[in-house]
Structure 1
Amino acid sequence: MQPPLELVIEAGIVGLPNVGKSTLFNALTAAGALAANYPFATIEPNVGVVPVPDGRLERIHAHIATEKVIPAALRLVDIAGIVKGASTGEGMGNKFLSHIRNVDAVLHVVRCFEDPDITHVDGAVDPIRDIETIELELLLADIEAVDNALPKAQRAAKSGDKETKARVSMLEKAKQLLDAEKPLRLLEPTPDEAKEAKAFGFLTAKPVLYVCNVDEEALPEGVNEHVRKVQARAEERGGETVSVCAKLEAELAELDEGDRAEMLEAVGLGEPALAPLARAAYRLLGLSSYFTAGPMEIRAWTIPAGATGPQAAGVIHTDFEKAFIRAEVYGVDDLEAHGNEKAIREKGKLRIEGKDYVVQDGDVCHFLTSA
């Protein structure tokens, strides 16, 4: 059973040509299909849904018998390679831009390896230059969108409509940032302005995770001179990086479980790249997971960090949010300490939480609703 797509976080993989972007996409989606017990895999030529690895699911399964275990999911979109001039239609141009507008986060693959057999589009490996090339194209696309929308919004705002006034205010703030060559991630909108900004799907407003594609020589730490430069840039801008070896991941995806584990051990890695990449994407987006567990399924559900009990229940079914009465909650550690839910209840470790409870990452929840 595949989770409803509305519960799947979508991340767009971008990068210059020949940085390993599509190799990584193919490896992650193939590995995802092998790791899951339901049909995750490529669902379109450039779209794949992969499970978010979470060892807590198996810890729960060790104590609760169930028919299936369902992890949270990450939807990956392999966006066409970006070239200089993409914002004005060069290369895939507007097609790639429209794909980015629809994703929740951007996974920016940066080439951090040397290989004379793989030509770099700009002649030499320079990850900072590559990052700046792509970020400039995204910035130029946002400038064009704001410059086109602002005069129309200003004319419409003369009617005094509240929503249009919020749109004008947001666009004016956005223009100030963009004219200073700053991304719209730095925009500080009011709630009304934020609603207007979301409708535009600005490219530089998307949170970005820099994915450093390294060679095997940089493993297991995943650090070399190129990576350090990317890490420094990300740190300056409050971003995050993760290192992967796309070539190795492609090889791992073709192996069975035993051989994969052996190869990972040989290069000093404890897990395939999908795991740290998915965790980093969740941190980037401010997400967490809670679990439901029973004889039919043990399942991870994705929620924004800070979600209340009713909001978390609403992820399962929208009716559950309004019909929420209370939640019965315990932790994975409680389950391991006492062996089963019956013992947890008898030991007084099962918590009864109301509508104001903020669901914590790793909670195991049973919701009582009137629905």
Structure 2
Amino acid sequence: MEAGIVGLPNVGKSTLFNALTCSVAAQSANYPFCTIEPNEGIVSVPDPRLSRITKYIVPQKIIPAALKLVDIAGIVKGAAEGEGLGNKFLSHIRQVDAIMQVVRCFEDPDVTHVAGNVDPIADIDTIETELVLADMQTLENALPKAQRSARGGDKEAILRVAAIEKCNAHLESEQPLRTLVLPETEALAISSYGLMTAKPILYVANVDETDLEGKHELVDRVREHAAKTGAGVACVCAKLEAEIAELDEEDRAEMLSDVGLEEPSLNVIARETYKTLGLQSFFTAGETEVRAWPVPVGATGPQAAGVIHSDFERGFIRAEIYQVDDLEQYKSEKEIRAAGKLRIEGKAYVMQDGDICHFLFNV
């Protein structure tokens, strides 16, 4: 699963991406970072439950869950018609699973805004309009073929035509597809189109150093817009976070204290992005490693086992599961078993956030 970082020029998009990647690289080896390409990176998702687990199960390695971020080329008005790097921008968005849009919520006369004035809602509208137009074009191109197949009695094509017509009507009302609820069969019939306004979105309000809690009215406007369109919001001062990320651990802690933060805002951004992607974590814990694994919300036990290895899913028998609270109460897995608190779950079990698991399988 991956998220694409988008935004207009001079809103702090690349500063945020660089801060995220630099922050992870500067942490201990327990929080790995690696660059895949110049504009892509793997970012760890900080999870305090890992330290709670390792207080009782001491491993050789600690491995947090991770997500992939893509720093997507900037957009300009007219991208849907190929202006600027529009085609490249749009093709990259189609490939990601969620969108992080950085919007500028600070005033700075030394940093020129591409539109001449700071207006985060106008920035959001500019990009959303381009995505709506591009989705409409995708659906318009797909409809004739779907209609031909539907006339021949193809059941999937019939579903596809119905879904396209509903989506087009929704887009024509200038609403993103993430606010449209389709029957599961229809949604599946058009899933291959990579419709961009259907992707979940997180608005990242880039704030001034004097407004780290995001109390400025510009941020309030972003929150109001997000509430109407089913999006999330997180605040960050990308400039400050970039400075913090370059410090060693001791100096970082001191600077965080000086500005009144308990942790870098980048940690919050990583967790909010994880949530926007529809992910939650389960854990495996032993002397070799304690590890957080990402799994979609609603995944079953076998599907979670498959995240570790396809053989685990194919030969799934059962899962032995307990929670972090159990470990803190009983101090060890042995005592959890003795107290009868180790749950045995089968193939129909729906994973819960924070499950600590042992999977039993046979292939």
* Fold shared by both chains (TM-score > 0.5): yes
Q: Percent identity?
A: 64
Structure 2 counterpart of 1:73, from 66, 71, 87: 66
Q: What SS does structure 2 have at the residue aligned with 1:299?
A: strand
Match in the other structure for 2:225: 233
- Alpha carbons 2:179, 2:229 under 8 Å: kept: no
Q: What SS does structure 1 have at the residue aligned with 2:233?
A: strand
Q: Distance in 2 between matches of 1:198 and 1:271?
A: 38
1:183-227 CA distances to partner (integer Å, 9 max, x unpaired)? 1113333333222321000010111110000011002x2321110
- 2:290 is the alignment partner of 1:319: no
Match in the other structure for 1:105: 98
1:217-244 CA distances to partner (integer Å, 9 max, x unpaired)? 002x232111011011111222220000
- 2:153 is the alignment partner of 1:163: no
Matches within 5 A, 1:266-281: 266-281=258-273
**Counterpart of 1:133 in structure 2: which amino acid?**
T
Superposition misfits of 4+ residues, deviation over 4 angstroms: none
Match in the other structure for 2:243: 251
- 2:22 is the alignment partner of 1:30: yes
Match in the other structure for 1:10: 2
Unmatched 5+ stretches in structure 2: none
Once the two structures are TM-superposed, the CA of residue 49 in structure 1 deviates from its matched residue by 0.5
Match in the other structure for 1:60: 53
Q: Distance in 1 between matches of 2:61 and 2:310?
A: 23
Of stretches 342-351 and 112-121 in structure 1, the one that deviates more from structure 2 is: 342-351
Q: Distance in 2 between matches of 1:359 and 1:196?
A: 27
Match in the other structure for 2:330: 338
- Alpha carbons 1:36, 1:51 under 8 Å: kept: no
Once the two structures are TM-superposed, the CA of residue 294 in structure 1 deviates from its matched residue by 1.1
Q: What SS does structure 2 have at the residue aligned with 1:263?
A: helix
- 2:178 is the alignment partner of 1:185: yes
- Alpha carbons 1:53, 1:274 under 8 Å: kept: no
Q: What SS does structure 1 have at the residue aligned with 2:210?
A: helix
- Alpha carbons 1:223, 1:243 under 8 Å: kept: no
Q: Distance in 2 between matches of 1:74 and 1:266?
A: 30
Once the two structures are TM-superposed, the CA of residue 286 in structure 1 deviates from its matched residue by 2.8
- 2:35 is the alignment partner of 1:49: no
Q: Distance in 2 between matches of 1:12 and 1:274?
A: 16
Q: What SS does structure 1 have at the residue aligned with 2:190?
A: helix
Q: Distance in 2 between matches of 1:186 and 1:155?
A: 29
Q: Distance in 1 between matches of 2:156 and 2:132?
A: 25
Match in the other structure for 1:93: 86
Match in the other structure for 2:274: 282
Of stretches 51-60 and 353-362 in structure 1, the one that deviates more from structure 2 is: 353-362
Q: What SS does structure 2 have at the residue aligned with 1:217?
A: coil
Structure 1 counterpart of 2:144, from 140, 151, 158: 151
Match in the other structure for 2:341: 349
- Alpha carbons 2:178, 2:229 under 8 Å: kept: no
Match in the other structure for 2:295: 303
Q: Distance in 2 between matches of 1:173 and 1:23?
A: 39
Q: Distance in 2 between matches of 1:223 and 1:212?
A: 11
Once the two structures are TM-superposed, the CA of residue 122 in structure 1 deviates from its matched residue by 0.7
Of stretches 239-248 and 179-188 in structure 1, the one that deviates more from structure 2 is: 179-188
Once the two structures are TM-superposed, the CA of residue 36 in structure 1 deviates from its matched residue by 5.2
Match in the other structure for 2:206: 213
Of stretches 116-125 and 274-283 in structure 1, the one that deviates more from structure 2 is: 274-283
Once the two structures are TM-superposed, the CA of residue 41 in structure 1 deviates from its matched residue by 3.0
- Alpha carbons 1:113, 1:214 under 8 Å: kept: yes
- Alpha carbons 2:43, 2:270 under 8 Å: kept: no
Once the two structures are TM-superposed, the CA of residue 39 in structure 1 deviates from its matched residue by 4.3
- Alpha carbons 2:67, 2:274 under 8 Å: kept: no
Q: What SS does structure 2 have at the residue aligned with 1:22?
A: helix
Structure 2 counterpart of 1:194, from 187, 191, 200: 187
Matches within 5 A, 1:112-131: 112-131=105-124
Once the two structures are TM-superposed, the CA of residue 179 in structure 1 deviates from its matched residue by 1.3
Call closer, same or farther: CA 1:57–1:117 in 2, change over 3 Å.
same
TM-score computed with the length of structure 2 as normaliser = 0.96
Q: What SS does structure 2 have at the residue aligned with 1:137?
A: helix
Of stretches 73-82 and 188-197 in structure 1, the one that deviates more from structure 2 is: 188-197
Match in the other structure for 1:3: none
Give the length in aligned residue pairs: 362
Q: Distance in 2 between matches of 1:73 and 1:46?
A: 17
Unmatched 5+ stretches in structure 1: 1-8
Q: What SS does structure 1 have at the residue aligned with 2:262?
A: coil
Q: Distance in 2 between matches of 1:189 and 1:15?
A: 28
Q: Distance in 2 between matches of 1:355 and 1:13?
A: 36
Q: What SS does structure 2 have at the residue aligned with 1:228?
A: helix
Once the two structures are TM-superposed, the CA of residue 34 in structure 1 deviates from its matched residue by 2.2
